[in-house]
Amino acid sequence: MTTIIRNTLSLGIIAAVCTALVAATWLLTRDRIAANEQAWLEQSLAPALGAMNFEGTITLSRLDIPPPHDLPGSEAAIVYRVFDDGRPRALLFTVTARDGYAGPIRLLLGITVDGRVTGLRILRHRETPGLGDRIDQAKSDWVNQFPGHALGNPPLESWAIRADGGAFDQLSGASVTPRAVVGAVRKTLVYFDAHRDDLFSAPATEDAS
Ligand SMILES: Cc1cc2nc3c(=O)[nH]c(=O)nc-3n(C[C@H](O)[C@H](O)[C@H](O)COP(=O)(O)O)c2cc1C
């Protein structure tokens, strides 16, 4: 009996020490983790802003748009508003194309305040290596065909891959993946067009800078 009590006590003490160690590590590292996350975020956002020039101090503010919404994907969409000395300059949308070949495709799309695409980055996908994964900026320059385009350029009906009569390149032997991404970009542009002013003026969900 005493052995059982002794073992139970030992296990309890070990568990308490481990919990205390984890808590202490978290307390000691949380500021650094937050700073690293912020740096990561800014690094990953910058490419989607492409060659935009800024004149003053850039600030970011985050807006989470809960479902249901008319953006691609069924989960909350995250939008970063980019201000240059307080003036609205661009929006960065993180949205999900749900109709990828192998699953959802998470993407980051930058749009200037006047509706031009600044850049597209694929954040997460499970598309097949050598086929659909060529949408990934690390694998090909497929995403680079979007910057400079807007909802009227090309016209809305041409926001599709060439196989579907649209203006955008597909990938040979893998049209399902690019069709999903182009569709998500088009849907995001349509949403931007309808909600631009509200998106810039809505209170931030959480300050990202
Ligand atoms: C094992 C396997 C994996 C595939 N992975 C992809 C993919 O990741 N993305 C894609 O668009 N098509 C993929 N395909 C091909 C699609 O089934 C489809 O044939 C193709 O997208 C049609 O493109 P096309 O109209 O240009 O021929 C895959 C096919 C197979 C058999």
Mutate to test the pocket of ligand 1, among 122, 126, 136, 176 (most ligand atoms within 8 A of CB): 176
Residue 33: the pLDDT is: 73
Would the pTM of this model clear 0.85, i.e. be above it? no
Calpha distance 196→115 (Å, rounded): 9
The residue among 100 and 15 whose pLDDT is bigger is 100
Ligand 1 center to 101 CA (angstroms): 7
- Cis status of the peptide bond prior to 88, with omega within 30 of 0: no
Query: pLDDT tens for residues 152-179?
Result: 999 999 999 999 999 999 999 999 999 9
Closest-CA residue to 101 (of 81, 123, 131): 131
Provide mean pLDDT across the span 111-116. Answer: 97
The answer on pLDDT for 209 being more than 50 is no
136 ligand 1 Cβ < 6 A: no
Burial state string for 151-164 with b = 16 or more CB within 10 A and e = fewer than 16 = beeeeeeebbbeeb
pLDDT number for residue 64: 94
User: Above 60 in pLDDT, residue 181?
Assistant: yes
- Rounded mean pLDDT of 28-33? 80
Average pLDDT, the chain: 91
Q: What is the pLDDT of residue 1?
A: 65
Residue-wise pLDDT tens digits, 116-154: 999 999 999 999 999 999 999 999 999 999 999 999 999
Residue 163 in contact with residue 173, Cβ under 8 Å? no
Q: For ligand 1, atom 9, name the residue with the nearest CA.
A: 132
Give 38-95 pLDDT, tens digit per residue. 676 677 788 899 988 888 888 889 999 999 999 999 999 999 999 999 999 999 999 9
DSSP 71-117: SSSSS-EEEEEEEETTEEEEEEEEEEETT-SSS-EEEEEEEETTS-E
Quote the CA–CA distance of 172 and 168 in Å, as a whole number.
13
CB 102 near ligand 1, within 6 Å: yes
pLDDT at 208 over 60: no
The DSSP symbol for 147 reads T
The whole-angstrom separation of Cα 209 and Cα 202 is 16
60 vs 122: CA distance, rounded Å: 20
Q: What is the pLDDT of residue 62?
A: 92
**Quick check: CB of 91 below 6 Å from ligand 1?**
no
| pLDDT at 37 (0 to 100) | 60
pLDDT at position 45 is 84
